[in-house]
Amino acid sequence: MARVVSIIVPDKDGGFQDVAWGLESIEDYLNSSDIYCGPIVGRFGNRIAKGKFSLGEQSYQLTINNNSNHLHGGAFGFSHKVWQVTSLKVDGNDALELICLSKDGEQGYP
């Protein structure tokens, strides 16, 4: 799962403070009943009515996971995947690269 576990920033007294809201570890997220506590939402954020959309001439039927709609990428959206994380520097700044494979047709997406 791609979740922010902590964001440590300097505080006004010269110390450091965790400013992220959420759980303490990946294990806590894996065992939580709150599946939308701080996730990367995808492949789509919000609902797609009846799980249907068209791209060019092609129509697609997505998985239904919210009454008759498709919510936040489906029953197994990006929020449910464990992502590969690599720390790196970009223009001298700390950064993360997050990688997740989404196969063609997964949850109905092309």
Report the percent of the chain where pLDDT is more than 70. 97
Q: Contact, 42 vs 34, CB < 8 A?
A: no
- The 10s digit of each residue's pLDDT in 45-96 is 889 999 999 999 999 999 999 999 999 888 888 888 888 989 999 999 888 8
Give Dmax (Cα) for the chain.
59
Burial of residue 78, with CB atoms counted within 10 A of its CB: 0-12 exposed, 13-18 middle, 19 or more buried: buried
- Does 26 score more than 70 pLDDT? yes
For the entire predicted model, the pTM comes to: 0.66
User: Cα–Cα distance between 72 and 42 in angstroms, integer?
Assistant: 5
Q: Contact, 106 vs 78, CB < 8 A?
A: no
